Amino acid sequence: MTSADTRKLKKPRSSSTGRVTLADIAERVGVATITVSRAFRTPSIVADGVREKIEQAARELGYLPNRAASTLASARSMNVAVLVPSISNVVFVDTLRGVDEVLRVKGYQLLIGITGYDSREEERQLRKFVPYGPDGIILTGFEHSEESWRLLGRTGVPTVHMMELTEDRNRYCVGFSQEAAGFDLTRHLIERGRRKIAFVGVQLDPRTLRRYEGYRRALTEAGLYDRNHELLLSEASSIRLGGPLLELMLAKAPDTDAIFFCNDDIAHGALFQCLRRGISVPDQLAVVGFNDLDASAHTVPALTTIATPRREVGREAAKMLVLLMAGEHPDTHSLDLGYSLKVRESS
Amino acid sequence: MTSADTRKLKKPRSSSTGRVTLADIAERVGVATITVSRAFRTPSIVADGVREKIEQAARELGYLPNRAASTLASARSMNVAVLVPSISNVVFVDTLRGVDEVLRVKGYQLLIGITGYDSREEERQLRKFVPYGPDGIILTGFEHSEESWRLLGRTGVPTVHMMELTEDRNRYCVGFSQEAAGFDLTRHLIERGRRKIAFVGVQLDPRTLRRYEGYRRALTEAGLYDRNHELLLSEASSIRLGGPLLELMLAKAPDTDAIFFCNDDIAHGALFQCLRRGISVPDQLAVVGFNDLDASAHTVPALTTIATPRREVGREAAKMLVLLMAGEHPDTHSLDLGYSLKVRESS
DNA sequence: TTGTAGGCGTTATCAC
DNA sequence: GTGATAACGCCTACAA
């Protein structure tokens, strides 16, 4: 099957850089480079014998494909850019995992960008990623710079937004209503008989603010809203802030009988402070958080919070993107995955 | 400055795909594509007027560079692949941040891979990333599959290993001695008068095992080693495991007067369980962890632990890689950044 | 300071 | 099933 092969094959020019290329394999096996390419990409359309020889040659030569060349020639990168505010926040790590689970089996590689909750940084990231020719883009939320929106429009790359919802039918999104969740959690406190319900918010990203709006709506509807019971700071969230924020809130409004912390991290810090100070939770003070982190079921007392379907958000956003990248239309432009109230000991 | 330009310029072939390319800008401005390329990459060597016209044309046309083309032509990707076991673990998130801080200002883009503490998955990731033509690679630790090592050798891409050290002068690494840290932490407990010191380990990745070796060496040297006081499980680490592991350990060896948890996460879970059970820490039982997570200074009681310089590890590993990518030689092949014992209330 | 020529490694297209 | 040819968009080398 070797020397008998006397067809005149235009000798594939072997690499000049020393790297092993398709042409090297082609030469070794005695076929055209395109056949080698096919043997890897669509093995079924290459004759068995040829395919096997190609595979063996590839192994022997230590062939490694070159994505840059493939991307350039095919105009498909098999990359998906995913931008999240932070990976110090488990919420987004879980979301990324969901995205990855779905996309990796489809052969896509994630390009992960961290925006630091900053639209300008997000724009910078986007500008960095677009040259990679991503086949799709996944963003967090809807707060993007003018230029980011323009960039997305110009490139025409299919895009899905995560973690928030929109009415805009031109946008695809997967998430849940942060506002409704904030509302429900506050209603829970009202129903437990609390009347001086405070809100402590940090970071103040769009999702935190939506939760705050839900809180406010619930209290306003119940005639309990009192602006003296809220504390909004733009500091980055962290467990260490919990204690001081608790103190600050109680100093500001000593009659507070419940605190809605905008996320579980600062709620944990606050619970520790309650332990140190001997503040009895929930007797003296109810404490609730948001996100249902791993630790929240185990704190003392266990923390009442909102469980968010972030992994599912990631998975569904990825599925939606896969459809869009295939030129198909998802059933809905806006997928609401809901949330669930976890009532535990702290309220 | 426009129509007077009657030099015969080989008309840059404009894109056939509709995308805006360097050639489009070149045509518009009346220069060669290479000049446009230079205007972006080394602006200083292009005449001011020309450069400005090029920049304006780029803006007007909405030019976006194509990394695949540039990578293919230059054989430099400006990508660096970084493989870490997990990003659910803050330790590696901090390390990644350190790496990114240094590499991004040098213009490198991170390709982040999650290996799930699994050599085979790591090998898969490596196989996926090598085709991207990374200019450098950063790996966690030294436990890699045969094939991974071979791949690294074949590609010849500069590589730095993080979080552990090696004597092997052919390898570059930045980290600290996990074994020595485990030893020191155990010594601390001994010096505090503890005699029945237990070790509880999960995940059992190489770094955890090195800590365990340090623990064992300290106890053996002190004549206190007792295999009945150790609990090693391959479960993934999580705060929820802390409580049950504490119970298990105490059931196995009720005389235990101190527990060295292999990381802060499970130590936190254990501290919560102590609160619930009314086990007085440190009076009845000393508890120590490893890593000094954010929460550890705030738990009740505050947790004694080893603070690890993970962000610095990331930064220094990146710096070392930058040198290697430039073909230079770092001062040392193995950079030890140390660690520090944080004595708090729990011991 | 600017330009010409040619190639980087792969794939689309059309032919056989 | 397989091949020749011509891109893909940019950059290196060398030349002017």
Q: For A281-293, write each residue's pLDDT tens digit.
A: 999 999 999 999 9
List, as ranges, residues 265-284 from A with C-beta within 8 Å of B. Answer: 268-269, 272, 275-276
What is the DSSP pairing of strand B136-140 with strand B286-288? unpaired
CB–CB contact A239 B295 (8 Å) = yes
Q: Is the pLDDT of residue A85 over 50?
A: yes
The 10s digit of each residue's pLDDT in B206-257 is 999 999 999 999 999 999 999 999 999 999 999 999 999 999 999 999 999 9
Q: Which of B284, B258, B289 is nearest to B195 (CA)?
A: B258
Can you give the pLDDT at residue B15? 59
| Positions in chain C where some atom is under 7 Å from a protein CB | 1-13
Pairwise pLDDT comparison (B166 vs A14), residue with the higher score: B166
- Using the Cβ of A71 and the Cβ atoms of chain B, whether some distance falls under 8 Å is answered with yes
Q: Which of A72, A92, A344 to mutate to test the interface with B (most CBs of B within 10 A)?
A: A72
Q: Which of A160, A111, A157 is nearest to A314 (CA)?
A: A160
The 10s digit of each residue's pLDDT in A317-330 is 999 999 999 999 99
Can you give the pLDDT at residue A2? 37
List, as ranges, residues 10-29 from B with C-beta within 8 Å of A. Answer: 17
- Using the Cβ of B40 and the Cβ atoms of chain A, whether some distance falls under 8 Å is answered with no
Give the whole-angstrom CA distance, residue A144 versus residue B83.
Answer: 30
Non-local (6+) Cβ contacts of A262 within 8 A are A199, A200, A201, A202, A203, A208, A211, A212, A237, A290
- Decide: A159 and A139 in contact? Cβ < 8 Å: yes
Please, which pLDDT band fits residue A254 given cuts at 50, 70 and 90?
very high
How far from A64 is each of A24, A110, A178, B127, CA to CA, in Å?
A: 11, 20, 46, 8
Q: Is the pLDDT of residue A120 over 70?
A: yes
Percent helix / strand / coil, chain B, rounded to 5:
45, 15, 40
Non-local (6+) Cβ contacts of B10 within 8 A are B32
How far from A120 is each of A116, A148, A158, B40, B104, CA to CA, in Å?
A: 10, 9, 21, 21, 16
Which residues of chain B have a CB within 8 Å of the CB of A96?
A: 87
Handedness of CA A97, A98, A101, A107 (dihedral sign): negative
Q: What is the mean pLDDT of residues B329-338?
A: 97
Give the whole-angstrom CA distance, residue A32 versus residue B104.
Answer: 41
Give the whole-angstrom CA distance, residue A204 versus residue A232.
Answer: 7
Q: What is the mean pLDDT of residues A218-241?
A: 97
- DSSP for residue A307: E
Please, which pLDDT band fits residue A5 given cuts at 50, 70 and 90?
very low
List, as ranges, residues 151-190 from B with C-beta within 8 Å of A. Answer: 154-155
Give me the half-sphere count of Cα atoms (radius 13 Å) on the Cβ side of residue A177.
11
Give the whole-angstrom CA distance, residue A300 versus residue A181.
Answer: 24
CB–CB contact B275 A275 (8 Å) = yes
Please, which pLDDT band fits residue B2 given cuts at 50, 70 and 90?
very low
- List the structure tokens of B253: 């060896």
Q: Is the pLDDT of residue A157 over 90?
A: yes
List, as ranges, residues 223-252 from B with C-beta within 8 Å of A. Answer: 238-240, 242-243
Q: What is the mean pLDDT of residues A257-267?
A: 98
Which nt sits closest to B29, CA to C1'?
A: C2
Of the candidates B65, B93, B110, the beta carbon closest to that of A88 is on B93
Non-local (6+) Cβ contacts of B323 within 8 A are B329, B330
Which residues of chain A have a CB within 8 Å of the CB of B295?
A: 239, 268-269, 295
User: Whole-prediction pTM value?
Assistant: 0.94
CB–CB contact A297 B87 (8 Å) = no
Of the candidates A128, A276, A297, the beta carbon closest to that of B300 is on A276
- Decide: A157 and A136 in contact? Cβ < 8 Å: yes
Q: What is the mean pLDDT of residues B309-327?
A: 97
Q: Which of B29, B66, B65 is nearest to B47 (CA)?
A: B29
Can you give the pLDDT at residue B4? 35
Can you give the pLDDT at residue B3? 36
Please, which pLDDT band fits residue A18 given cuts at 50, 70 and 90?
confident
Which nt sits closest to A49, CA to C1'?
A: D1
The maximal CA–CA distance of chain B, rounded, in angstroms, is 95
- Using the Cβ of A329 and the Cβ atoms of chain B, whether some distance falls under 8 Å is answered with no
Nearest residue in chain B measured CA to CA from A266: B295
The 10s digit of each residue's pLDDT in B57-105 is 999 999 999 999 999 999 999 999 999 999 999 999 999 999 999 999 9
CB–CB contact A72 B88 (8 Å) = no
Q: What is the mean pLDDT of residues B271-279?
A: 97
CB–CB contact A68 B275 (8 Å) = no
Q: What is the mean pLDDT of residues A29-39?
A: 95
Q: What is the mean pLDDT of residues B266-282?
A: 97
- Using the Cβ of B109 and the Cβ atoms of chain A, whether some distance falls under 8 Å is answered with yes
End-to-end Cα spacing for chain B: 79
The 10s digit of each residue's pLDDT in B174-218 is 999 999 999 999 999 999 999 999 999 999 999 999 999 999 999
The 10s digit of each residue's pLDDT in A88-107 is 999 999 999 999 999 999 99
CB–CB contact B87 A93 (8 Å) = yes
